[in-house]
Structure 1
Amino acid sequence: MNVLLDRGQTLLHNAGDQSRLRRLNTLAVIEAIRDEALTIPLTAKATGLSKTSTDSLIAHLVQLGWVVPVDPLAPSGAGRPATRYRFKADAAVVLGIDIGRHTVRAELADLNGEVFASADAPASEDDGPIDVLASAVRLADELLTRAKRERSSVWAIGVSVPAVVYQDVITRGPSGWAGINVKDVLSTDFECRIVVENDSNLAAFAEAWKGRASDVSDLVYIHSGNRTGSGLVINGSLFRGSNGAAGEIGAIHEVGWQTAQKHLHAVQLEDGSVVDREAVFKAAADGSVSALTAVRRFSEDIAIGVAALVLTVDPEIVVVGGGNVRAGDVFLEPLRRRVEELCIARPVPQILTSALRERASITGAVGYAATTVQELLHAAAGSGGNLPSADIPPSKWTKQLG
């Protein structure tokens, strides 16, 4: 961020566009105090700006409602302690929506991704997409009512769907969803920016944003639950490919992801009982030989696709999320062993459990929406427009940005 801003500042300075330079400097100040309240001198140091310019920019941001003063730290020497300033992340709100196969979830959060209201509702594969999305809108309204906010206060919505998405249209997914433009459906109720993405992609984004991969540039995310999916982050950015299908290696039947679940169904234990997925993992943890064999076969089938992605992307880490990670090393150890056997690359990247577990996709939806607002603010500054006031409904100014 700072590198790009510095480069832009040089070009703008040469072009004499001081007004646009000021707007970009304003965004640099926001980024400097986004995670930690700083004094004006410390903010100036973080941005490379003069104290005078920083003072002026912060005063402007306080007026717009994006920055608030906070109590000074306890004095450590002579003199009056300086006032600190922080980004007012709750000046605007975003919505995250996760369309699952059995549950619809919604979360209301601030621009730092801090969730302050959440709700969910059951869903069925028999429900049509319009009914499911209507349920999501009802959940969103419930959250907004609880927070005493209007629909117009939402600046962006991130939507996670268990499907391949290309230009907001579902191209492959659950029965009845192909061809549905989720953004168009939700736009009848909300006038903010709406971004729609595959759930595994958003889970990968979430791991890079607030999870295991926050300090790495390249990762492969594997969702392992009732189904298996994957998402990629390359050079610090979510990688979708030209048609939104990057990482959809499981679509190839021969990879084995579509059929791996068969190993976890109707497993007969030593006592004669027959169990399915979650009970199989528990029995394996308790030492059942037949359950351990079933889990090993499942893990080895999953490992084929994981190894293919590792050899293609050469990531720093592989993060595994979804319901199956509750089984811990009973599931992951045979997966790791088989990936190492299949990969010619050395060293093989670490395979870690998700820090976000089942919350990865909804966290990604919230984070993607928050990041979208950040991009909108940068677009406003870069297009020659003025940075908007936090209390202006986003629909009033985002239309000019496309």
Structure 2
Amino acid sequence: MNVLLRQGSRLLRGPSDPSRLRRLNALSVIDVIRHEALTIPAIARATGLSKTASDSVVTHLLDLGWVTAEDPLAPTGAGRPASRYRFRAEAAVVVGVDIGQHTTRVVIADLNGAPLTDGVAAADAASDPGTLIAFAVERTGELLGALGRRREDVWSIGVAFPAVVEDGIVVRGSHGWDGFDIRAAFSAHFDCLTSVDNDSNLAALAEAWKGSATESHGLVYVHSGERTGSGLILNGEVFRGTRGAAGEIGALPQLGWESAQQHLRGVQVDDGRLLERAQVFEGARDGHPAAVAAVDAFAEAIATGIAALVLTVDPDVVVVGGGNTRAGDVFLEPLRRHVDALCIVREAPPLVLSSLQERASVTGAVGLAVTSVLQRLYDVLLGGETLPRADGSGMAFRAGAPG
């Protein structure tokens, strides 16, 4: 499922005049060649346009730098092989930043979201906001330099942060972040589109885009590590609610997500050792009864909130990520069992491990950045403006550009 294009596709509906149709045709062609080089006949088949119209649109996009010609495939019969055309994803770059509990990750990607380079360092959300943003900006600059890119080549930045975020501002966080405007902080250094969202929301986006739930239209993502959080995909889109707090049921003490961590602390096994979280899972794998009981109690404690989400949004799948998933079925088996027992009005959906693991949130941040570029492109064209040059200054994707 192309979860990144769900929002933009809605904008393609509506009355059309000839000028608008030409702009829509350009969007349609860009869409079908974003991930695969196609010939003019193949583009015509994929878009429903005539070959003549497809050729005209491709010629226009070539002139503007949005499309480039690829070498033809080897001939399979008589005649010269047809040229193929692809979207110039290398025309600019996007940046994904994940400000985590213990590390900050930065990924530079092309306009399709394909990673070009990345970096990770021990700089976390407990740091002073200004210091951490400065670090992320510096690391991004270093990675851009290694690619031979400039800050002007960045068209969009997506940021994942472990808190409720509304309009780029931390609504409720910790360690001095409440009220901090993350979007404005990045915009002071990069004149481009900047979007910020909760890390679990973006992990959910990543799982639907490139992870364990690419065929799902509805999923619950659960982060299970030193904290427990969740994000939702409904009808193929991230569901944030009216103020960005959808899925934040862990804030309710009655559900026990915060207190559940106590089950994984100071667990004494039969040889007298006291085990902490990661060691508890290892002890359970080794069959220590106290560790097995502790993991089961932890799974039971967080299962209530997961089941509540399942019975509220009725997803296709539950994807579990975070540090605890390194334990595999030692953790997943009791969790599945307890969630199954609580889903009393329907069979519990499959509960699967994240395939992206610790890269889920930063992958979602990249997806958010790509989506912002696509959305601005839709807004520009459907607002009556002409398609900007892809190899120019990228003014349509600057922070203050209309659209």
* Fold agreement, TM-score > 0.5: yes
Contact 1:89 1:112 in 2 (8 A): yes
Partner of 1:87: 87
Contact 1:162 1:174 in 2 (8 A): no
Partner of 2:319: 319
Partner of 1:172: 172
Q: Which moved more, 1:245-254 or 1:99-108?
A: 99-108
Q: Residue deviations 1:304-347, cap 9 Å, x none?
A: 10000000001010000011111011101111111111111322
Q: What's the offset of the Cα at 1:3? A: 12
Matches for 1:134-283 after TM superposition, within 5 Å: 134-283=134-283
Partner of 1:133: 133
Asked if 1:11 is matched to 2:11, the reply is no
* 2:402 counterpart letter in structure 1: L
Partner of 1:284: 284
Contact 1:5 1:24 in 2 (8 A): no
Contact 1:96 1:159 in 2 (8 A): yes
Q: Residue deviations 1:138-185, cap 9 Å, x none?
A: 111011111111111101000000110012111111220000010111
Q: Which moved more, 1:46-55 or 1:271-280?
A: 271-280
Question: Structure 2 unaligned runs (5+)?
Answer: none
Relative to the length of structure 1, the TM-score reads 0.95
- Alpha-carbon separation, structure 1, partners of 2:125 and 2:97: 17
Q: Which moved more, 1:210-219 or 1:299-308?
A: 210-219
Q: What's the offset of the Cα at 1:124? A: 4.7
SS in 1 for 2:15: helix
User: What root-mean-square deviation, in Å, do the aligned CA atoms of Structure 1 and Structure 2 show?
Assistant: 1.7
Contact 1:263 1:294 in 2 (8 A): yes
Matches for 1:295-374 after TM superposition, within 5 Å: 295-374=295-374
Partner of 1:385: 385
Q: Residue deviations 1:221-244, cap 9 Å, x none?
A: 000011000000101000000111
Contact 2:165 2:196 in 1 (8 A): yes
Contact 2:94 2:111 in 1 (8 A): yes
- Alpha-carbon separation, structure 2, partners of 1:160 and 1:312: 25
Closer, same or farther: CA 317–385 of 1 in aligned 2, 3 Å: same
Asked if 1:61 is matched to 2:65, the reply is no
Contact 2:218 2:316 in 1 (8 A): yes
SS in 2 for 1:148: coil
Question: Structure 1 unaligned runs (5+)?
Answer: none
- Alpha-carbon separation, structure 1, partners of 2:345 and 2:110: 41
Closer, same or farther: CA 379–165 of 1 in aligned 2, 3 Å: same
Contact 2:228 2:250 in 1 (8 A): yes
Closer, same or farther: CA 283–27 of 1 in aligned 2, 3 Å: same
- Alpha-carbon separation, structure 1, partners of 2:124 and 2:7: 47
* 2:292 counterpart letter in structure 1: L
Q: What's the offset of the Cα at 1:28? A: 0.2
Contact 1:5 1:28 in 2 (8 A): no
Q: Say how many residue pairs are matched.
A: 398
- Alpha-carbon separation, structure 2, partners of 1:158 and 1:7: 22
Closer, same or farther: CA 6–55 of 1 in aligned 2, 3 Å: farther
Contact 1:104 1:135 in 2 (8 A): no
Closer, same or farther: CA 284–8 of 1 in aligned 2, 3 Å: closer
Q: What's the offset of the Cα at 1:121? A: 2.2
Partner of 1:401: 402
Partner of 1:113: 113
Contact 1:208 1:214 in 2 (8 A): yes
Relative to the length of structure 2, the TM-score reads 0.95
Q: What's the offset of the Cα at 1:34? A: 1.2
Q: What's the offset of the Cα at 1:120? A: 2.0
- Alpha-carbon separation, structure 2, partners of 1:125 and 1:317: 30
Closer, same or farther: CA 212–124 of 1 in aligned 2, 3 Å: closer
Contact 1:152 1:395 in 2 (8 A): no
Partner of 1:52: 52
- Alpha-carbon separation, structure 2, partners of 1:7 and 1:128: 40
Contact 1:267 1:280 in 2 (8 A): yes
Q: What's the offset of the Cα at 1:127? A: 2.0
Q: What's the offset of the Cα at 1:6? A: 10
Closer, same or farther: CA 124–235 of 1 in aligned 2, 3 Å: closer
* 1:219 counterpart letter in structure 2: L
